Structure 1
Amino acid sequence: MEAAASSKVIHHTNHLSASRVPISSHKPSLSFISTKKSRHISQNVAIKASSKSDNVGKTFCTTGVWTFDQTVSDTPSQLTHEKVGVVLLNLGGPETLHDVQPFLFNLFADPDIIRLPRLFQFLQRPLAQLISVLRAPKSKEGYAAIGGGSPLRRITNEQAQALKTALESKKLQANVYVAMRYWYPFTEEAVHQIKKDGITKLVVLPLYPQYSISTSGSSISLLQSIFREDSYLSRLPVSIIKSWYQRQGYINSMANLIEKELQSFSKPEEVMIFFSAHGVPVTYVEDAGDPYRDQMEECISLIMQELKARGIGNNHTLAYQSRVGPVQWLKPYTDKVLVELGQKGVKNLLAVPVSFVSEHIETLEEIDMEYRELALESGIENWGRVPALGCTSSFISDLADAVIEALPLATAISPENSTKKSMSQESDTDIVRYVLKLFFGSFVAFTFLFFPKLISTFKNYL
């Protein structure tokens, strides 16, 4: 999740980390939330990624080559008259250095990213503005290191085109849309195009294998909110795939990549398989009931079971990366574990970014640069990294199967009766909010004006 863009924002288009790095060459890596931002609505959100197809079912993406099995079952006859749409949900990322600060603002303005008590939610946007301004210089350095911007939009477009081709090979015609949470093309743009195209049945597919409040949950909540406020969309049958980490196609695809990368080591059986997942604050799991940690642990178990069935019994471990701020995040932390493994004498390590299906800031900069350097400095001699799934044929084909399986479950999103009630409750607190906002704003301004050193201290926590 490029939310690590919040914690460690940085990308890199020249991905060389899949290969081993000898030490000698390195001297001491089902819901929807509305926003009030005014956004330009694109008239062309349908995916037109650059890829070439020939008449034998092969598709060539810039991220790889894949082929679909043409012996597939027919689509159920009741779907033939439907105009099917699939919307891929993803985080989004700044495409230029100029985009970094507004992207960070959009990220931190999301109440699912920074969870404030209800009484202080009016501070969400001012706080997001402050954090984004303070973090932008450091984040720009990271994006500059990977080519000046995030490749996430390009890769997601390629995955969308690949999925469309896979669905066609399975006898299902569908329009595939990309909806980014924090940057272009925004969710609102995709929704506009869905309405324009007259879609009659929709499948929502987050590009996060495991569900978390801060990733799939936030994107789904925004989408639901938009749909509930629209008379046409509120009647549109929608099926939401909340998570898909347990699907055998995904498990097999991950196992294939790991098995292939292990062969790049001189002694594959001695390699430690190091799963690194994006972290979330502990309060999300313990207080808000986020299933992310349980799903991640189950996912790792399923992948290792598949590898064991193939005769691969390497040791493995799981750690969490991309924490930010003074709060406690899921442990163990990736950087801490890397140091510990080096101290324990581990010499060969294969990093596996298990919560990402596209290359982005957290894989290209944080893992490939920061963590690789830390690992080598800690005594690990040979470093490898499994690439993200991208347009891998088995992965895309399984996503297509997931879409087909989800279609019959589509139901309309009915408007919530609680809307008026919540609005009246908010109006009751308007006076209290005004007083608190006036007091808090004056206090913060006074503090930073007369105690400028506090700004540096605050920046160190971000």
Structure 2
Amino acid sequence: MSNNKTGKIGVLLVNLGTPDTPQTPDVRKYLREFLLDKRVIDINPLGRYALVNGVIAPFRAPKSAKIYQQLWTERGSPLLYHGLDLKQKLQASLGDAYHVAFGMRYQKPSIKSALEELREKSVRRIIVFPLFPQYASATTGSVHDKIMEIVKDWWIIPSMNFISSYCNDPGFIGAFAELGKKYMAEDNYDHVVFSYHGVPERQILKGSDHGYCKLGSCCNSYNKRNQYCYRASCFETSRQLAKALGLQDDQYTVAFQSRLGKDPWLQPYTDDVLKTMPAKGIKKVLAFSPAFVADCLETTVEVGEEFKEMFEHAGGERWQLVESLNSNDAWVEAMKQLVLQH
């Protein structure tokens, strides 16, 4: 593809964020920025400020720092270097008519710096591509919110397209299924678990289309009334992945991880579910984390290590995590097609 006279199209890739280093002060700084987001902890501002600065950041930062230290590599945080690799590969795939930038919702590289990069290139249009397949107010919604907050001060605002959800995109599903089939060819698994990052139930209900959401059978189909419901999107991704993997309904489970606090979050909880499986004869489990397209603390450590330990302690024999899409070629091609569609 060659550039045209009206300028390039900008593509803004955005992921959640990561501390600058795995040391406690930087982890604390990251947690504060992340958890003070009104879309992440959606309570009154004074209560959120007191909770984050008085309880969560001081006490959670040292524990999280130890986990980040396990996760860190010579290249730094996986979430960051996988994002940079993806940017480079997508740029090569799209060609000179596009300029791809990468930013994080929290910490560095920032969304603001990525937008400035695109503005300096005088792009005629920006396609915003959050790296969250299933829409949630706390992730995709927060990214869109931040971008609009930044560009409102620009004198010239180019046309912008926001990709809000691709939970059942054939390319996305196919890329993840391809990774799973590799493990299924190596061993016979008794069951598959699709584990998604949880959110408080109240956040699902707040986004419901005129009371459509009942946190139950309303997610049995994916339609115009629940297309931006995170829970419905997770079940839709699972159905499509199960179909691509050749699984029957009783061969997989959808569950939710990483809950925080005492309020009810989306259920069932992955850690509770996996502990009951060995007693039911489920000894070998293949686990996916389809809410994440890049490996990070929640995939590598929580699902890959902590859940494995819990499963084996309960009597399980094998718990195998399917790695995230990261920057593999099938995912790059899927992203290219999504960009071209928008």
Structures share fold, TM-score greater than 0.5: yes
In the alignment, what sits opposite 2:126?
202
TM-score (norm 2): 0.88
**Which structure is richer in relative contact order (CA contacts within 8 A, separation 6 or more)?**
1
The alignment partner of 1:256 has SS state of helix
CA separation in 2, counterparts of 1:191 and 1:394? 27
Call closer, same or farther: CA 1:329–1:123 in 2, change over 3 Å. Answer: closer
CA separation in 2, counterparts of 1:126 and 1:160? 37
In the alignment, what sits opposite 1:299?
237
Letter in 2 for 1:343: A
5 Å matches for 1:226-305?
226-233=150-157, 236-265=158-187, 268=188, 270-289=189-208, 291-305=229-243
CA separation in 2, counterparts of 1:306 and 1:288? 29
CA separation in 2, counterparts of 1:81 and 1:288? 39
Is there any run of 5+ residues in structure 2 with no aligned partner, and where? 209-227
- Is contact 2:36–2:48 with CA below 8 Å preserved after alignment? yes
Are 2:136 and 1:136 equivalent residues in the alignment? no
Are 2:321 and 1:396 equivalent residues in the alignment? no
In the alignment, what sits opposite 2:221?
none
In the alignment, what sits opposite 1:213?
137
CA separation in 1, counterparts of 2:206 and 2:11? 33
In the alignment, what sits opposite 2:15?
90
In the alignment, what sits opposite 1:222?
146
- Is contact 1:105–1:128 with CA below 8 Å preserved after alignment? yes
**Which of the numbers 64, 89, 102 marks the counterpart of 1:178?**
102
1:227-248 Cα deviation digits (max 9, x unpaired) = 1232222xx1011110112111
Q: What's the offset of the Cα at 1:381?
A: 0.6
CA separation in 2, counterparts of 1:145 and 1:179? 24
Is there any run of 5+ residues in structure 1 with no aligned partner, and where? 1-73, 407-462
TM-score (norm 1): 0.66
- Is contact 2:12–2:128 with CA below 8 Å preserved after alignment? yes
In the alignment, what sits opposite 1:146?
71
- Is contact 2:126–2:161 with CA below 8 Å preserved after alignment? yes
Q: What's the offset of the Cα at 1:251?
A: 1.2
5 Å matches for 1:1-16?
none
Q: What's the offset of the Cα at 1:272?
A: 0.6
The alignment partner of 2:277 has SS state of helix
1:24-51 Cα deviation digits (max 9, x unpaired) = xxxxxxxxxxxxxxxxxxxxxxxxxxxx
CA separation in 1, counterparts of 2:77 and 2:37? 20
Q: What's the offset of the Cα at 1:92?
A: 1.0
1:262-286 Cα deviation digits (max 9, x unpaired) = 1221xx2x43111111101000111
CA separation in 2, counterparts of 1:240 and 1:146? 31
CA separation in 1, counterparts of 2:39 and 2:132? 16
Instruction: Please tell me whether Structure 1 or Structure 2 has the larger radius of gyration of its CA atoms.
Output: 1
In the alignment, what sits opposite 2:112?
188
Q: What's the offset of the Cα at 1:153?
A: 0.9
- Is contact 2:22–2:72 with CA below 8 Å preserved after alignment? no
1:37-71 Cα deviation digits (max 9, x unpaired) = xxxxxxxxxxxxxxxxxxxxxxxxxxxxxxxxxxx
Letter in 2 for 1:300: S
Letter in 1 for 2:125: K
Call closer, same or farther: CA 1:208–1:317 in 2, change over 3 Å. Answer: same
5 Å matches for 1:442-461?
none
Letter in 1 for 2:79: L
Root mean square deviation, CA, Å: 1.9
1:206-231 Cα deviation digits (max 9, x unpaired) = 10111101111101111012112322
- Identity among equivalent positions (%) equals 30
Which of structure 1's runs of 4+ aligned residues deviate more than 4 A?
none
CA separation in 1, counterparts of 2:5 and 2:120? 20
CA separation in 2, counterparts of 1:303 and 1:157? 26
Q: What's the offset of the Cα at 1:111?
A: 0.4
Letter in 1 for 2:105: R
In the alignment, what sits opposite 1:384?
320
1:73-96 Cα deviation digits (max 9, x unpaired) = x78x9x663321100011011141
CA separation in 2, counterparts of 1:229 and 1:126? 30
